[in-house]
Each structure stands twice: as structure tokens, then as C-alpha cells.
Structure 1
């Protein structure tokens, strides 16, 4: 596998986490509004993306290959929880 193929595989592997991070952060900013103590959008994006990639790597380690629906379900739950925590959802 050459470098471009490796980069293609890595980008396709993290694409679901990137999409979830973008969708949740911008939906949270639109629906949640501005609140005191909430990190800036790019910090939220980095947190949610990192959590999503961690879930995808854990799913790869547990199941032996990527693309399992259980991994994607865990991705949605974990990313949503991290975004809720970042937006201080318990203070509403």
C-alpha cells in the first residue's frame, strides 16, 4: 500500500467522526445559542472529533474490522454525550 492509499483509508476511517462532530457542533450552536462558559466552536469540534475517533478505534479493536453498526451506534451516543457536556446541557 502506498502513501496515497494509506491516507485515503485513514481519511475514510475518520470520516464518520468528522461528520458527527461537524453536525453536532453546528446544530448545538444553532439550537443552544451562546452561553457563558461554553468552549468556542473549534474547541467543541476538536473534543467531539477526538471522542469519535476514539470510539472508532475501540470498535476496530473489539470487532477486528471497521464498519460495524454497533460501533456507529456507540459513535452517535458518545459524540452526543460529549457535545451535551461541552454545551453544559445539565444547566438548562
Structure 2
């Protein structure tokens, strides 16, 4: 595998985490617009995407392969927990 192939593999591995993190941040800003008024969208998206990416790496280590539904469930749980921690816990936005 060449460097270009390795780059594409890494980008495609982390693409779901980035997409889920950014979409979840945007939707959370729409649903909880009063509570998240002080939290910028880019910060929510960055934290949610990073948590989702870490969860995907953890799932890869735990299960030994990518693409298991339990790994994606872990990614969604980590994304939701990161959004809660960043913007909604105790009213501290």
C-alpha cells in the first residue's frame, strides 16, 4: 500500500466521525438553541467529532476490525456525551 492509499484509508476511516460530529452539533444547536446560545457551533462540532473519532479508534482496538455496529453505537454514544459535557451540563454553555 502506497502513501496515497494509506491517506485515503485514514480519511475514509475518520469520515463518519467527522460527519456525525458536525451534524450532531448543528442539530443540537437547533433543538437546544436557548441552552446552547453561548456555545459556538464550531466548538461543539470539534469536540463531538474528536470524541467520535476516539470512539472509532477504541472500537477498532477492541473488536479488531472496522465497521461493526457496536463500534458505530460507541461512536454515537461518545458524540452525545461530548455534546452534553460541552454544552448542556449544569447550564454552563
**Aligned counterpart, 1:43:** 43
TM-score (structure 2 length as normaliser): 0.85
Q: Secondary structure at the match of 1:87?
A: helix
- Number of corresponding residues: 91
Partners in 1 of 2:10 and 2:63 — Cα distance?
Answer: 18
Does 2:38 match 1:28? no
**Aligned counterpart, 1:14:** 14
Partners in 1 of 2:35 and 2:69 — Cα distance?
Answer: 34
Task: Note the C-alpha offset of 1:57.
Answer: 0.6
Root-mean-square deviation (Å): 1.8
| Unmatched runs of 5 consecutive residues or more in structure 2 | none
TM-score (structure 1 length as normaliser): 0.86
**Aligned counterpart, 1:70:** 70
Q: Secondary structure at the match of 1:65?
A: coil
